[in-house]
Structure formats: structure tokens, C-alpha cells
Amino acid sequence: MLIPQTKNIGLPLMNLMRFKGLPILQQLHIEEQLLRTSSENWCIVNDGTNDPTIVMGVSGKPAELLEIESVLDDQVPVIRRFTGGGTVIVDHGTVFVTFICNKEAVPNLQPYPRPIMSWSSSLYSKVFQGIGDFHLRENDYVFGNHKFGGNAQSITKNRWIHHTSFLWDFNVQNMSYLKHPKRAPAYR
Amino acid sequence: LKDLKYADSHEWVKVEGNSATIGITDHAQDHLGDVVYVELPEVGAAVKQGESFGAVESVKATSDVNSPVSGKVVEVNEELSGSPAKVNSSPYEDGWIIKVEMKDAGELKNLMDSEEYSKFCEEEDSKH
């Protein structure tokens, strides 16, 4: 519900949805529905998902990015999301944060990938102030040299979504289901 | 380019008779970054002026591509599956995305000519 006088504050007014353990497929369905059918701004926070799940970007090729035999043997679900970017394996130790905004929501923000990512990284640099050497490095969120989350976006005519899966805690063994991508930043 | 028409979502259209060739502009490809994937519609799909028919992926983002005209898709640029970077290197030639049989040529009046589009881009860039 929009309160008229808050439109003048100058920062995006967002509806906040908080979940714990929502299955990532359901989260992605909600996100795509809100992006394409809502006219309001949203922030979604999901503290962990239920079962370990592989989530691939719109153009990811399973044969190139997954250890297919292990994935099939262990029956790990694989989902293709509607945003770009790479492959992640998520579980109860992942924290998901999503922003869905109208293109006018953030003043002076051009609705293109790099400006949006620059805006989100300036938001997160305030969140992580004093905790670690946070910055955006070659489109990754890092503490120093260590990437600690995956992020991706989708931009429509009048709205955009930027979502992140933060590896708050992760099972190193789960990483063995994934191959290193062919194109990867040198720092990694 | 002078003989093209432009949408405010940064797509161009070249009209020859009833046939329209569609792509994204140089302004769009420059702001999007390196295109690594193009999601193409099926031949035969219906498109509507101002609505999305496909997407491009760049810098971890999928960006909708919207049709400047309504009609039916008669051809898609299959080359983009193997060489998506053509959208960056040749946005008005080799990087064309779809060809459409137009439903209503009258819709073209809703689009900008090249002078209007250049001014539109300048105004947009200066606001940010």
C-alpha cells in the first residue's frame, strides 16, 4: 500500500517480504510474477532454502557447467532461472536478497546492468561496512579476493530485478557438482 | 541511421513494403555491454508494438527486447545463437534480430525518426 507523502522522500519505497526456508523455485516464481505483473517496488529476503538445489542462468549449458553424472546420481534438482549470470548451488545456508523496482524508483538510475549493479553494490557496502573488505569486483560481490555471493538481473521495459544468493554458510562438498565456467574473471 | 524508425525502448525497425527488420540500437548495445546470449522467438509467433518478444543477456542481466511494430515473426537471425556478439559489433546490419510481417503500417507513426531518436538519447543520458 503506497502512502502518498512518502513518494517525496526520494528513496524507493519498497514492500518487504521475509521468508525462511522458502523453496528457491517458489521464490523465483514469485519474483518473476512480481517483476512482470506488479507496479510496486519489492524487497524479498529468504533465509535459506529447503534442499540443495542448482540454479542456472538463462543461457547456462548443463553439459559445460555441471558434473552431470554426480548431479543425476544424487538427484540434485536443477532449475533454470529467468535472469542472466552463472550457476549456483544453494541450500539452507544461503541467504537470498532480491530487489524489484520500477525504473523511476531510484532517482538518476539508468535501467541498464552496470548502473543497477553499481547501485546495489553501494547499498551492500553500507550493509557490510566494518565487517570485511567488501566491494564489487568484475561484477562479483567480494570480501577482498573472495567471492561470497552470486548476483543476477533481469530488465524489462519499465522495471528491473536484481537478486543475490549470499553464501552465508555453505557445504564445500556441494561445490563439487559444479564445473568452473569457461569465462571467469582472472582474480578468481 | 536515417531510413530507420526507433522505439523509446531503443529498438530500430527497417520497413520494406510490408516487411519489418528489427534490432537494438547502437545506444542500447553500448549501454548493455557484451551480449553473450540472444533469446529468439519462434517463427510464426505474434508480436505486438511495445511488447517483449525476446531478450539479450549481458553482464549477468537479461534485458527484454520489445517489438516496435505488431505482426508475425517470419524469420529470426539464427546466426546470433552462435555469434551473439554481432548485436554489439553490427547492431544495424549483421546483428538484426527478427523479421516481421507487419499488421498495421499506421503504427509507424508512434515511432521516432533518426533525428528525434538522437535527441531522445541525448536527453536520457544527460538526465543520469
Tell me which H or E stretch contains B64.
strand B61-66
Distance from CA of A27 to the nearest CA of B (A): 18
Q: A82–B62: do the CB atoms touch at under 8 Å?
A: yes
Q: Name which of A13-17, A184-188, B80-84 the model is least confident about.
A: A184-188
pLDDT band for position A3 (cuts 50, 70, 90): low
Residue A47, in any domain of the structure = yes
DSSP chain A: ---GGGGGSSS---EEEEEES--HHHHHHHHHHHHHH--S-EEEEEE--SS-EEEE-TT--HHHHB-HHHHHHTT--EEE-SS-S--EEE-TT-EEEEEEEETTSSTT--SSHHHHHHHHHHHHHHHTTTTS-EEEETTEEEETTEEEEEEEEEE-SSEEEEEEEE-SS--GGGGGGBPPPSS--TT-
**Residue B77 in 3-state DSSP?**
coil
Q: Please give the mean pLDDT across all residues of chain B.
A: 95
**How many other CB atoms are found less than 10 A from the CB of residue B42?**
7
Distance from CA of A85 to the nearest CA of B (A): 4
- Among B52, B57, B58, beta carbon nearest to A156: B52
Q: Could you give phi then psi for residue A120, rounded to 5 degrees?
A: -65, -35
Q: Is B32 exposed, middle or buried (0-12, 13-18, 19+ CB in 10 A)?
A: buried
Q: A85–B39: do the CB atoms touch at under 8 Å?
A: no
More confident residue, A45 or A149: A45
Global ipTM: 0.93
At B73-128, the pLDDT tens digits run 999 999 999 999 999 999 999 999 999 999 999 999 999 999 999 999 999 888 77
For testing contact with chain A, the best of B30, B49, B60 (most A CBs within 10 A): B60
B contacts of A58 (beta carbons < 8 Å): 37, 39, 55, 57, 62
The confidence score (pLDDT) of residue A147 equals 83
Distance CA(A42)–CA(A27), nearest Å, equals 13
For testing contact with chain B, the best of A118, A119, A157 (most B CBs within 10 A): A157
Q: If you average pLDDT over residues A104-121, what whole number do you get? A: 91
Q: A117–B60: do the CB atoms touch at under 8 Å?
A: yes
Residue A9, in any domain of the structure = no
Domain count, chain A: 1
pLDDT band for position A1 (cuts 50, 70, 90): low
Give the three cell numbers for residue A45.
Answer: 529476503
Residue A32, in any domain of the structure = yes
pLDDT band for position A50 (cuts 50, 70, 90): confident
Q: Please give the mean pLDDT across all residues of chain A.
A: 89
Distance CA(B117)–CA(B128), nearest Å, equals 17
DSSP A157-177: SSEEEEEEEE-SS--GGGGGG
Q: B60–A114: do the CB atoms touch at under 8 Å?
A: no
Count of pairs with CB atoms under 8 A, one residue in A, one in B: 74
Distance from CA of A139 to the nearest CA of B (A): 7
Q: Does the pLDDT at position B59 exceed 90?
A: no
> Does domain B4-126 sit in CATH 2.40.50.100?
yes
Distance CA(B108)–CA(A149), nearest Å, equals 45
Give the three cell numbers for residue B16.
Answer: 520494406
Give the three cell numbers for residue B67.
Answer: 517489438
CATH number for the domain spanning A108: value is 3.30.930.10
Give the three cell numbers for residue B93.
Answer: 546490419
Residue A81, in any domain of the structure = yes
Q: A110–B32: do the CB atoms touch at under 8 Å?
A: no
